[in-house]
Amino acid sequence: MPVKNRFAELQDEITAWRRDIHENPEILFETHRTSALVAQKLQEFGCDEVVTGIGRTGVVGVIKGKADTSGKVIGLRADMDALPIHEQTGLDYASKTPGAMHACGHDGHTAMLLGAAKYLSETRNFDGTVVVIFQPAEEGGGGAKVMCDDGLMDRWGVQEVYGLHNWPGQPLGSFAIRPGSFFAATDQFDITFEGRGGHAAKPHETVDTTVLAAQAVLALQTIASRNADPVHQIVVSVTSFETSSKAFNVIPQKVQIKGTVRTMSKDMRDLAEKRINEVCTGIAATFGGTADITYHRGYPVMVNHEEQTEFAAKVAASVSGSCGDAPLVMGGEDFAFMLEERPGAYILMGNGDTAMVHHPEYNFNDDAIPAGCSWWAEIVEQRMPAA
C-alpha cells in the first residue's frame, strides 16, 4: 500500500495549514492560536468528540470507525509548539513572531495529523476508535506528561500510542525506527562554587573559585571516559561558566556552571547524578570552597515497545517500500512519557537534504506530507482493519 491518493489530493490544503502554523509560532504551553485552529479543523472534519484544555492547551479528537467489534483504541500524537529561535529562512511565510519559529517541524507534524484525521473522518474504514492527540510544550515543557497527568490515556481508554518526527538528512518520505531505547534521558545540572574572593594580585589570600570550577569542568569529563562502561551511551556537557565578577583584577566569590547529561539507561542516569555530586563536592573541599549542586531529571529515556515497533516498521514499509534502522539519538523527546503509560512506537520520517532541526534556517519539507499522513492512516487501518 503506497502513499494514499487522497493525501496527494489534499497536499495543497494540508500545506496551507502547515504554513499558516509556521507563520504564527507559539512556544511551550502558549499554543492558544494553534490549539484553536486544530480544534476548529477537527470539528469541521466531523470528529465524534473534540476536547480542548487537556494538559493546559492540548487538544484531543475522537474518531470512531464504521464498526467497534474490536474494542481497540489507538492514539496518534503530534506536537504543536515552536522554539525560541529567530528565523532566518527568508520564506514568504516566515515567522511573524520575533524570537520564535518552528525550527523542529512541529508545524508539519500537526498539519500531517490533521490531514490524517480528515481522511479517517471521511472514510472511517476501520474497526475501533482512534484518538488524535495534539500536544503542547514538547520543547522543554514536558507537555506529554502534563497531558497524561490530566487523564489522557484513561479518559479515552487509549491502548496503544504512536508518534512521528521528521528527520533532516534522511531521504525524503523514507522511514527509520528502532526497538528499545531510542532517544536519551535529558537531565540538567546547576552548580555554584563558592570560595573567598579577593584581589587578583593576591591569590594566596583567596579561595579561587575560577580555578576550582575549571578543575570541575575537566573532571566531569571523566564520568564518561573513566566511570561509565564504554559500551553504554552517556554525555556530560558543561555549557555555561559564569563568574560573579566581570572585572579583570578580581578573583570572584562565586562561579556557576551549568550543563546537561544524556543517558540511555537508568543505571547510567543514576551513575551520572552520583558522580557529579561526588566530583564537585570533592574538588570544592580540596580547594577550600563549597559546591551547591542542583540536579534536575528531565525527560526519561524514550523506549519503543517491541511488538508495536515491529508493526510500525511494517506499516512504514507498506507506505514507502522499506523501513530503515534508526540510530540512537542523544536528543530528548517527551513522547517518552506517553510510552511509559502505554505500549507504542515512535518513528523518524525523512525530511530530505535540509538544515537540521533547531537551526534558524530549518524548514519542514512539505513534499513529505503525503508519506507522513499515509503512515498515520495506515497505522489505524492495519491495526484495526474493517470487519
Position 3 pLDDT exceeds 90:
no
With contact defined as beta carbons under 8 Å apart, do 49 and 61 qualify?
yes
Q: How much is the pLDDT for 387?
A: 82
pLDDT band at 302 (very low <50, low <70, confident <90, very high): very high
Express each pLDDT in 303-361 by its tens digit: 999 999 999 999 999 999 999 999 999 999 999 999 999 999 999 999 999 999 999 99
Express each pLDDT in 86-95 by its tens digit: 999 999 999 9
Tell which residue, 378, 366, 367, has the closest CA to residue 317: 378
Position 1 pLDDT exceeds 80:
no
Distance of CA 155 to the CA centre of its chain: 24
What's the whole-number average pLDDT of the chain? 97
Express each pLDDT in 153-178 by its tens digit: 999 999 999 999 999 999 999 999 99
Beta strands in the chain (DSSP E): 49-54, 58-64, 73-79, 129-135, 160-167, 175-177, 180-183, 185-194, 198-199, 234-243, 250-251, 254-263, 290-299, 302-304, 324-325, 344-350
Average pLDDT over residues 13-40: 98
Position 219 pLDDT exceeds 80:
yes
Q: How much is the pLDDT for 4?
A: 81
For the record, the C-alpha cell of 241 comes out as 561558566
Beta strands in 208-366 (DSSP E): 234-243, 250-251, 254-263, 290-299, 302-304, 324-325, 344-350
C-alpha 163/C-alpha 75 separation (Å) is 9
